[in-house]
Amino acid sequence: MKALPALLIGAFFTLLLWCYSDRAMAAETPDLIVVNGKILTLDENNWFQWPKTQYGGRLVEAMAIQDDTIIAVGSNDEISKLAGPDTKKLDLKGRTVVPGFVDSHRHTTGYRPQDFPQIQPVRVPPSLDKEVVRKGIFDAIKQEVQKKKPGDWIIVQPEGDVARQLILFEDIKRADLDRAAPNHLLVLNEVGSGPNSQIRFNSAARKVIEKELPGFKFYSDETIKKDGVNLSGLVIKDVILQGKEAEYAESIKKLIIETELPLGITTVATRIMRVPLQALLILDAKGEMPYRHGWLFSDGSFYNGDGFYRRMPNTAGVGSKYLWSAGVQEEVIDSPSTGLCTTVPSKNAVLTERHKRAGINTCFLENDPVMRATVKDQIQFQRPTGYHNSGDKTTDLMLKIIEEVQQETGMTDQQIRDKRIAFEHLHLIRPDQYAKLKKYGIIMCNGTNYMSANLNPNRPDNVAQNYGEEYLKWQMPAKGFIDAGVITINNEMYPNAIDSLSKVVTREACFTPRLPGEGEIGIEKCILIAPEQKVDRITALLMSTKWPAYYLLRENKIGSLEVGKWADFAVMDRDYLTIPDKEIGKLTVLMTVIGGKVVYASADFGPVDRALFKSPEYLGKAVLAGAQ
């Protein structure tokens, strides 16, 4: 009888071992195999091994995916042998696969306008006649006052430089808006053409905003001339749409599915506010995030400017597979929309006079003690990122603040590097600044859509026009950064990542005027911007996939197609490695896959098994296998 317990114990462990072995074997059986592809894994390049002109990563035909993770890469034969009876199969038919694009500055916490009719702006078309624009604005206000109840919001959005000047130079004052709409909450917001975007509120609207955003009362009508774009978004999302978080969540989801996933984008980061963040949290709790999102809390100075970031917990890196905190961002320390803070004298007398007349000093960080204190708090207590370092003087000021923080706190260079601070836009960066950028591990972000915007003669950040063509070599100098060992990535990749790849490889930028005063409307103009700053196409791809993963604090999970990483990838219509440089911008994404689930498929890919999709709402333009 004494032997019985030992026998039972032995049997128990034998059974346990059998169960474990069975589960272990099951764990080796993929849920999905992807075969017959040309898969660029990007598995060999990192910050200490700079890329060559030839592709240096592993090139494979197939990969195996279990749940949402890559468990094997290799040849078709090697991967096919891993398949079990329930393994699904995706045949790429020889097409090229790249890791999903990672855009660390993409404002996709917007909404579909049709989902919120209460905030639809009334647009006033552009004109070069000041009186025509003025009349259009007040006619629009009058019509809205007659249609809406007292206490409702009215948003009037005139377009063009003349409208901008009417607000900027106070030809239209708050008192004028009070008389036009005394009982409504009125926003006059010129954002139609980007630069110098201006915003003005009537007194009733300001009162409501100050209640919801207590720090706003410290900002006068003069102060908010700095950046109308950000402020309009903050007011619309966190004030007007407060209480609509559930509806906002559905609107974000549909917007991303319709407009973002067809671009091959699988992960983004953006500055975020209260209502959009709550909307993303709702989606994440339901398992309905359409792609991965690193959020950066922003605009804290409007909530409470006195020590906000000192009191806020540092949540960087905390979250789920689809939604996590990537840090904080008080981005407008320098605005390419208003004018660069630079050591280079401006050649644009009209813009200089405009700033003087409006009382605008473009070096916000130098002249705004609240913003300067905010940045210091972020560097010391948070993971700070997303600073608009459009002009070289702003970069000097930021580096000086970092040094002051070190002197005051004793933080080491490595502790600063661990913050992974990021500078954005980079219209003018001097070569003599590279050494400190490398020393502090600053991530330099090439906002390539600004290369096109700079061709607009009305843009304050038009480097060639406003400062001289000789300074184009300072604009987003990707090769200069890489040669100096400075971390650099692509971000704000509008209209898409393919366009961004093309721009850093060819350095060709194009612009098509759409408003009077920008040039001949509809006629595209293209130029080369500092072609000596070109990078090879593999470096460009790394700048748009693997390296931004470091910015997002997820370099171990996204950005390349390696064992142990999430299965996020895009299928291209042509071979990225062999097409001519000038053809890169014409590439098309045929399929986007996130976590091993198809979230977009073009009809041009061919028939796709319905079972491969994340859910029916992601079917998009796909032609389904077996469909009649």
Give the model's pLDDT for residue 47.
39
Give the model's pLDDT for residue 77.
96
- Kindly list the strands in the beta sheet with 69-74, ordered across the sheet, starting from the edge strand earlier in the chain: 69-74, 62-66, 32-35, 88-91
Domain membership of residue 201 (yes or no) is yes
Residue 158 pairs in a beta bridge with 124
Residue 73 pairs in a beta bridge with 63
How do beta strands 62-66 and 32-35 pair?
A: antiparallel
Give the model's pLDDT for residue 19.
41
Same domain, 77 and 168: no
Same domain, 182 and 41: no
Domain membership of residue 622 (yes or no) is no
The span from the CA of 450 to the CA of 206, in Å, is 32
Tokens standing for residue 63: 């990969």
Q: Give which of 374, 369, 291 is closest to 106, Cα–Cα.
A: 291
Same domain, 59 and 123: no
B/e letters for 422-445, b = 16+ CB within 10 Å, e = fewer, are bbbbbbbbbeebbebbbebbbbbb
Determine the straight-line distance between the first and last CA of the chain, rounded to whole angstroms: 70
B/e letters for 305-320, b = 16+ CB within 10 Å, e = fewer, are beebbeebeebbeebe
Domain membership of residue 389 (yes or no) is yes
Work out the angle between the directed axes of helices 392-409 and 369-381 (0-180°, nearest 10): 60
Number of structural domains (the chain) is 3
Same domain, 71 and 129: no
Range of the domain at 153: 117-240
User: Which residues touch 505 (CB under 8 Å, ≥6 apart)?
Assistant: 534, 535, 536, 537, 540, 581, 584
CATH code of the domain covering residue 18: 2.30.40.10
Task: Read off the DSSP letter of residue 128.
Answer: S
8 Å CB contact between 62 and 90 = no
8 Å CB contact between 118 and 62 = no
Residue labelled with tokens 């061709």: 455
Spans in the chain with pLDDT lower than 50: 1-4, 7-26, 46-53, 193-195, 628
Query: Is this model's pTM higher than 0.75 or not?
Result: yes
Q: Give which of 276, 286, 287 is closest to 249, Cα–Cα.
A: 276
Most distant CA atoms of the chain, gap in Å: 106
Domain membership of residue 558 (yes or no) is no
The span from the CA of 62 to the CA of 37, in Å, is 6
3-class secondary structure, 104: coil
Same domain, 400 and 476: yes
Same domain, 90 and 122: no
Same domain, 83 and 147: no
Domain membership of residue 320 (yes or no) is no
The span from the CA of 218 to the CA of 281, in Å, is 30
3-class secondary structure, 240: helix
Same domain, 394 and 514: yes
Residue 124 pairs in a beta bridge with 158
Give the model's pLDDT for residue 56.
59
Same domain, 78 and 216: no
The span from the CA of 511 to the CA of 579, in Å, is 24
Domain membership of residue 627 (yes or no) is no
Domain membership of residue 599 (yes or no) is no
Same domain, 19 and 70: yes
Q: What DSSP line would sit under 58-88, residue for residue? A: -EESEEEEETTEEEEEE-HHHHHTT--TT-E
CATH code of the domain covering residue 453: 3.20.20.140
Same domain, 462 and 495: yes
Give the model's pLDDT for residue 305.
67
3-class secondary structure, 70: strand
The span from the CA of 248 to the CA of 108, in Å, is 12
Which of 494, 523, 544 terminates a domain? The answer is: 544
Residue 272 pairs in a beta bridge with 297
**Using one digit for the tens of pLDDT, what is the confidence trace for 469-524?**
999 999 999 999 999 999 999 999 988 999 999 999 999 999 998 877 788 889 99
Residue 46 pairs in a beta bridge with 49
B/e letters for 240-261, b = 16+ CB within 10 Å, e = fewer, are bbeebbeebbbbbbbbbbeebb
The span from the CA of 310 to the CA of 129, in Å, is 49
Residue labelled with tokens 């990078």: 535
The span from the CA of 115 to the CA of 135, in Å, is 30
Same domain, 462 and 502: yes
The span from the CA of 452 to the CA of 360, in Å, is 25
Domain membership of residue 554 (yes or no) is no
3-class secondary structure, 461: coil
Give the model's pLDDT for residue 22.
32
Sign of the alpha-carbon torsion through 210, 212, 218, 221: negative
Q: Which stretch of DSSP H or E encloses residue 364?
A: helix 364-367
Which of 523, 544, 565 terminates a domain? The answer is: 544
Which of 485, 510, 544 terminates a domain? The answer is: 544
Tokens standing for residue 604: 């041009």
